[in-house]
Amino acid sequence: MNSYKLNHLAMEFRLDIGLDYGTPLDFFPVITSKLKNLTIVFIKMDDKISGACFKVDSQQIMFINSKHPKGRQVFTAAHEIYHLFYEDTNFTICNLNSNDEIEKNANRFASFLLMPINALYSYKKENNIEKWNLNSIIDCEQYFQISHEALLYRLKSGGDITFDEFNLFKPNIKNNALHRGYDSSLYEPYIGKDYTIGNYVRLVEEVYEKDLISNGKREEYLIQAYLSDLVYNLEDL
């Protein structure tokens, strides 16, 4: 699928769930709130696996590698949305560096979902960017909350930076961001432990409140989804 079609799909998706064309997204809270049947499981996986997803009945479940930095976790989640909404397969395991055509489409969709073509164009214009450098790149990735690597790929594929610049700008990003006055949250895991957010939690609580399951069963279901915090009140909610 060509880039314009994927960008169009991403824009339609944003509109379908009530978002505008270009505002940066606080991605996990936004999709947890907007996609009512989505469950997101953060779980430790082999480093080369970014995530996985599957569909069962009306429910959509995505798994995100809990060891990866937030920028990459967000990108993986946006990538999984492509599989969940635009692919027929019920179960997919993802390596974002794969050369598989479907994986590449999912990556480009993710990039456009987080940073639509027009949004990047407007950003460039508003900030008077004629030639990208490390300062403007870090400002931009922080603004859109997109991973450093994803932004570099996007700029390279659009001809905005060369292959040599890509390699020059790529390393040591956390330190480079800190020295430009940003916090490191984009470069560290969003949830760095096994944990579940989204509809699974809502469903368990709902069936318990309707007396369809006992409290023991409720606790068992929550613990199975790595939510012992909710059972033992370990966190001050």
- Applying CB under 5 A, the residues found at the interface with Zn ion are 94, 103, 106
Can you tell me the distance from the alpha carbon of 182 to that of 185, in angstroms, rounded to the nearest whole number?
Answer: 9
Contact of 42 with 76, CB cutoff 8 Å: no
Give min distance, CB of 143 to Zn ion, in A.
Answer: 26
Residue nearer to Zn ion on the CB measure, 64 or 137: 64
Residue nearer to Zn ion on the CB measure, 94 or 225: 94
For residue 170, CA distances in Å to 47, 66, 70, 165 come to 19, 22, 17, 8
Can you tell me the distance from the alpha carbon of 145 to that of 113, in angstroms, rounded to the nearest whole number?
Answer: 12
* φ, ψ dihedrals at 29, nearest 5°: -60, -35
Contact of 218 with 208, CB cutoff 8 Å: yes
Give min distance, CB of 87 to Zn ion, in A.
Answer: 9
Residue carrying structure tokens 């936004």: 30
Give min distance, CB of 63 to Zn ion, in A.
Answer: 11
Residue nearer to Zn ion on the CB measure, 70 or 79: 79
For residue 101, CA distances in Å to 1, 5, 105 come to 9, 15, 6
Q: Which residue is nearest to Zn ion (CB)?
A: 94
Cα 103–105–106 angle (5° rounding)?
65
Give min distance, CB of 102 to Zn ion, in A.
Answer: 7
Residue nearer to Zn ion on the CB measure, 94 or 140: 94
Residue nearer to Zn ion on the CB measure, 106 or 146: 106
Give min distance, CB of 162 to Zn ion, in A.
Answer: 28
Task: Indicate the SS3 state at residue 64.
Answer: strand
Give min distance, CB of 177 to Zn ion, in A.
Answer: 27
Residue nearer to Zn ion on the CB measure, 99 or 215: 99
Contact of 231 with 224, CB cutoff 8 Å: no
